[in-house]
Amino acid sequence: MLSNIGISLVVLVLILSFLTIYTAYLDLKTSNQFIKVSIYKLSLFQTTFTVLSFFTLIIGFINSDFSLINVYENSHTTKPFFYKIAGTWGNHEGSLLLWINILVIFSYLFLVFNYKHNKRFRLYTLIFQNILILGFLFFLLLNSNPFNSIYPIPLEGLGLNPILQDPALAIHPPLLYVGFVGCSIYFSAAMASLISGYGGKLFAQSIKTWVKISWCFQTLGIIVGSIWAYYELGWGGFWFWDPVENASLLPWFAITALMHSLIVLEKRSTLYSWVIILCLLTFILSVTGTFLVRSGILNSVHTFASDPSRGIYILIFLSFMIFSALIIFFTKHKKETFSFNLKSRETFILANNWFMAFFLVTVLIGTLYPIFLDVLTGVKISVGPPFFNIVIIPLVVPFMLLMSIGPKFSWIKSQNKFFYETLFLMLSAIVINLFIFYFFGEYSLLSNLIFITAIFLILHSVLDAKKFINNINKTGLSRIISHLGFGFLVFFIGINHQFSLEEDFNLKVGEIKKTDNYEINFKNIKIKQSKNYKAVIGNFELTNLKNNLVQYLDPEIRIYSNPETLTYEAAIKTKMTSDLYLTMSNVSRSEYYNIKFQNKPFMVWIWISAIMVALGGFVQLTLKKNED
């Protein structure tokens, strides 16, 4: 029965989307200044039914209603309640329904909150957004329907993947989807802007809140994903330049560039074409990312179960999107003249775009190159962390320099008032870096530059914060927070990378491993039977040879029964100063266990800095005043 309710609701939404497009199209022709009330009502109904359909699926999961194939494949009666709900979006079909929900909700909210803006612009936005919604609805109904039913009804489900039973991972997809799918609304708005001619400052104002919302959630989604990877995946890292991770990073670069460019568009009414390009590009990147992740074209730790038919459909949809965007842009855009002084804030924002484009292209090429090479020449190569690190990290140095001094410049034209301040801060940064270098350990030239520029950025932001508190400069709070967070992020990642201790060795129960800094005693093994898994727990006694501090770590090997999987749970002791990280895996047909041990200084500060970056964005959203 749930199946019928669900499908009926989705079909209703489909009909309403068609109606919305049709009614909006008719309303375009009228000379009335206001949008017809019926359109608001259609949109509201559409939203209501879409949300109801999602709740229907959730209820299916909560009740373990295995008449729905989706619930059968992805849930189990013994799953904890919270994870039953999270199971709704933890699979391809359910997450697609979530995508549609966000598309519809944003469509409605954009319509309502932008009541002050041009009618034709809003109607066209609604039309384009609903075309996107139709595309996704057809995909859902024809290929990935979460409401498909199965008969006879199975008694038990196939179980949710145990790796997905984690609080961070439960909220990671919804956060990321608000980011990914949120960009659809300004994709539609950009198309609408081109067709209706509604551009400039007003256009910037109509979309800026939406850009900020999608940026905040995208940033937060990526952070939560990294935190989850660190605590759950058992390799002590938080970013692997894996194709799925890259797929979430590509829109992020575009949204960041867009967010900064919007400031220029609003302030100086210039850069309109570039803003439009970014609006169109962001959602295109989101859908491309979805294609890469769900079609099975790439080999990755994160992939959903892959299915080539999905890939074909998404590719068709993507092609349609890109070509319509290209055609409309080429036919409707007008050539712009630019007026940028070298010493002006606009130019520095251009520089931000420049670097964002570079980072974006690097990650895009790195991710896609193996596919292109394989298809064109049959040669298979891997492009992994070394490539991305070598290309990107050196450029972070000039990027942070520009990030520090950019905000100092005022709009249009600037004086050299702050030269001595900048010089002083640079010298301080160099001194602080020398201090770290001398007292704590030596590192490469590149690392020196990274530390110096990161500290430079931090000092600048701290100084700006002081000025803000002292009321000298009452603008830019959110920028200060985010830039400061970014400086800290790079700084702590640098420290963590330079001063981490890593060991990889094999040990038997009862043996002791001695390294330069630690003594690791493999005391014993315990077996524990839990609700849906059996755990092999290792007890390790760690003695820090420098200060004789003793700590205990208990990594686990978990054997799940439904579905049959093996996971490795790292033992992590998190302190403000460092993390101790230990994983254990058994060597087949041997009494030995392979142990990976890491001491990671200031690990938790990486998360704090990253959250700070996102926080700046959230502050922007909540402040009513016109910032910057």
Judged by CB under 8 A, does residue 416 bind another protein? no
We find the least distance from the C-beta atom of residue 227 to another protein, in angstroms, to be 17
Query: Which residues make beta-bridge pairs with 569?
Result: 556
Compute the distance between CA of residue 337 and CA of residue 339 in angstroms, rounded to an integer.
Answer: 7
Stretch binding another protein (CB under 8 A), from 100-108, 109-117, 303-311, 535-543: 303-311
Tell me which of 32, 377, 529, 547 binds another protein, using CB under 8 A. Answer: 377
Identify which of residues 151 and 438 has a Cβ nearer to another protein in the complex.
438
Identify which of residues 347 and 473 has a Cβ nearer to another protein in the complex.
347
Identify which of residues 503 and 627 has a Cβ nearer to another protein in the complex.
503
Compute the distance between CA of residue 214 and CA of residue 175 in angstroms, rounded to an integer.
Answer: 9
Binding mask 554-573 for another protein (x = CB under 8 A): --------------x-----
Judged by CB under 8 A, does residue 421 bind another protein? no
We find the least distance from the C-beta atom of residue 372 to another protein, in angstroms, to be 5
Judged by CB under 8 A, does residue 324 bind another protein? no
Q: Name the one residue in this structure whose structure tokens are 């790195």.
A: 366
From the list 29, 79, 153, 8, the residue with the least C-alpha distance to 531 is 79
Q: Which residues contact 597 (CB under 8 A, 6 or more apart)?
A: 501, 502, 503, 504, 518, 520, 580, 581, 582
Judged by CB under 8 A, does residue 379 bind another protein? yes
Identify which of residues 390 and 576 has a Cβ nearer to another protein in the complex.
390
Judged by CB under 8 A, does residue 28 bind another protein? no
Judged by CB under 8 A, does residue 301 bind another protein? yes
Asked whether 620 and 212 are in contact (CB, 8 A), the reply is yes
Residues 425-484 interacting with another protein (rule: CB under 8 A): 442-446
Stretch binding another protein (CB under 8 A), from 6-14, 198-206, 355-363, 454-462: 355-363
Identify which of residues 167 and 385 has a Cβ nearer to another protein in the complex.
385
Name residue 73's amino acid: E
Tell me which of 326, 512, 545, 576 binds another protein, using CB under 8 A. Answer: 326
Compute the distance between CA of residue 457 and CA of residue 459 in angstroms, rounded to an integer.
Answer: 6
Tell me which of 295, 404, 478, 496 binds another protein, using CB under 8 A. Answer: 295
Asked whether 356 and 255 are in contact (CB, 8 A), the reply is no
Tell me which of 383, 465, 535, 608 binds another protein, using CB under 8 A. Answer: 383
We find the least distance from the C-beta atom of residue 537 to another protein, in angstroms, to be 16
Judged by CB under 8 A, does residue 533 bind another protein? no
Judged by CB under 8 A, does residue 597 bind another protein? no
What secondary structure, in 3-state letters, does 182-227 show? HHHHHHHHHHHHHHHCCCHHHHHHHHHHHHHHHHHHHHHHHHHHHH
Sheet holding 578-586, edge to edge: 501-507, 593-601, 578-586, 571-574
Judged by CB under 8 A, does residue 387 bind another protein? yes
Judged by CB under 8 A, does residue 232 bind another protein? no
Asked whether 70 and 147 are in contact (CB, 8 A), the reply is yes
3-class DSSP state of 126: helix
78 phi/psi in degrees, rounded to 5: -90, 5
Judged by CB under 8 A, does residue 322 bind another protein? yes
Judged by CB under 8 A, does residue 418 bind another protein? no
Binding mask 329-348 for another protein (x = CB under 8 A): -xx------xxxxx----x-
Asked whether 176 and 89 are in contact (CB, 8 A), the reply is no
3-class DSSP state of 519: strand
Instruction: Please state at what angle helix 445-469 crosses helix 385-405, rounded to 10 degrees.
Output: 40
